[in-house]
Amino acid sequence: MMDLHTSLAVFLFGLPGSGKGTQAQRLAEKFGFSVWDMGAILREERNRVLSDGKKIGDLIDHGILLTDEELFEVIKLRISSLNKDQRIIFDGVPRRAGQAEFLLAELRNRGFSNFAAVFIDISDEEAVQRLVLRGPKEHRKDDTAEAIQIRLRQADALMESLRAYLENHVPVYRIDGRPSVSEVGAAIEKALNL
């Protein structure tokens, strides 16, 4: 069982639309986790021009994932504010094995010692249905059918190597993302011994 009195960093990962953000907020409300919402951070930083000259907003509006180096640049801007005594859940990062390696190293350097990963598993078809519905509600420019297809192709290609990397470094729990929000949440709580 995890010692919740020590630092705890949980990585939530899965396809776009798998419910990561919803479950992250649920853990924040029920158990006091801080949420590192990578998508929200990127939207907040949309006007930032990266050192390679690209503007964050232009990338996300076209459904293009940032390179690892671009993402690390944004993470380094924000990660110094984390407190090693807090419980934090990462939503939307890591998406690639290299990002997981970078994030684990950065967190360990800041005194975090307790890690877990939760993989919320849904099919591509389910992801498309959810994202098409979400777009108008949340006014997300990156939830057009074309941008969704680009993101899913990219995500599918990276998911297996990310899961393999995490399984070699932290406990990984696979959760079926198809049931209701509360059922998925209960399964996550059980997996994390919350």
> Given pLDDT bands bounded at 50, 70 and 90, which one contains residue 33?
very high
Dump pLDDT digits (tens) for 49-96.
Answer: 999 999 999 998 887 878 999 999 999 988 988 888 889 999 989 988
Architecture of domain 8-191: 3-Layer(aba) Sandwich (3.40)
pTM: 0.82
Tell me the C-alpha distance between 29 and 107, whole Å: 23
C-alpha pair distances (Å), 182 with each of 118, 173, 178, 186: 16, 17, 11, 6
**Ramachandran region, residue 17 (left: φ > 0; alpha: ψ -120 to 50; beta: rest):** left
- What letters, b where the CB count within 10 A reaches 16 and e where it falls short, cover 28-50? beeeebbbbbbbebbeebeeeeb
pLDDT for residue 138: 63
Domain boundaries, the chain: 8-191
pLDDT for residue 5: 46
Residue 169 in contact with residue 104, Cβ under 8 Å? yes
Dump pLDDT digits (tens) for 107-161.
Answer: 999 889 899 999 999 988 888 888 877 766 666 666 667 777 777 877 777 788 8
